[in-house]
Chain A
Amino acid sequence: NAGVTQTPKFQVLKTGQSMTLQCAQDMNHEYMSWYRQDPGMGLRLIHYSVGAGITDQGEVPNGYNVSRSTTEDFPLRLLSAAPSQTSVYFCASRSDRGGNQPQHFGDGTRLSIL
């Protein structure tokens, strides 16, 4: 099993560009989520999904869109990148919707917005 796979690992964008961060898991997990990690602020939840076709906002959703057309994939879209979105982005999945199972994390995408 590959677990949670994130691509790309690194990306540099110019302000105003758009891009999609890819996330795929091969564990048939229902729940998937996106976090951003910034120094001194820990991990903050951007969006999450409890199953295909269902998404919801986390703590910091502005500037990001998500969709969940399949169980395996949960892409994160930046529609118009801003320097404030420079961060490390982590995708995670877990087997249950209820929250008592641990999450499995990818290795992250390091994104710089110039």
Chain B
Amino acid sequence: AQSVAQPEDQVNVAEGNPLTVKCTYSVSGNPYLFWYVQYPNRGLQFLLKYITGDNLVKGSYGFEAEFNKSQTSFHLKKPSALVSDSALYFCAVSGATNKLIFGTGTLLAVQP
């Protein structure tokens, strides 16, 4: 069965500092990996995806993620955090099945 783990319920970072939101996955076969962001009272918005190819994936709003097959990880990163980045972030994976399974989410809080 496929699964996603986001080990941190919340990540706190000061504005201007780099941020990392962690994600590990378990799936049969090659993974399709995604990051989504959710703002209050809204649906999820797509940030970036890894399907194949370069392990460093760039996405919207300056976010990027690094795929590490040996560690089965897909951590979300940004070099310099903004207060407006504060939101709930979800990692998701689909594999041999076509179901997209989500992690439990990580709340990112960026302090001014």
Contacts and interface: CB of A to CB of B under 8 A. Distances in A.
A98 interface: yes
A14 interface: no
Contact of A40 (B45, B95, B97, B104): B104
A98 B98 contact: yes
B25 interface: no
Interface residues on B, range: 20 to 34
Contacts of A40: 9, 104
Given A40-B104, A42-B90, A99 B98 contact: yes
A114 B88 CA distance: 28
Contact of A102 (B9, B43, B49): B49
A31 B103 CA distance: 21
A42 B102 contact: yes
Interface string A24-38: 000000010101000
Contacts, number: 60
Given A40-B104, A42-B90, A97 B98 contact: yes
A43 interface: yes
Contacts of A41: 104
Interface string A76-114: 000000000000001010000111101111111000000
Interface of A: 4, 31, 33, 35, 40-45, 48, 50, 58-59, 90, 92, 97-100, 102-108
26 contacts: A31-B98, A33-B100, A40-B9, A40-B104, A42-B6, A42-B90, A42-B102, A42-B105, A44-B102, A45-B99, A45-B101, A50-B98, A58-B99, A90-B43, A97-B98, A99-B32, A99-B95, A99-B99, A100-B51, A102-B34, A102-B46, A103-B46, A104-B46, A105-B44, A108-B41, A108-B42
Q: Which 7 A-B pairs have the closest CB atoms?
A: A105-B43, A99-B94, A102-B46, A42-B104, A43-B102, A99-B98, A105-B44
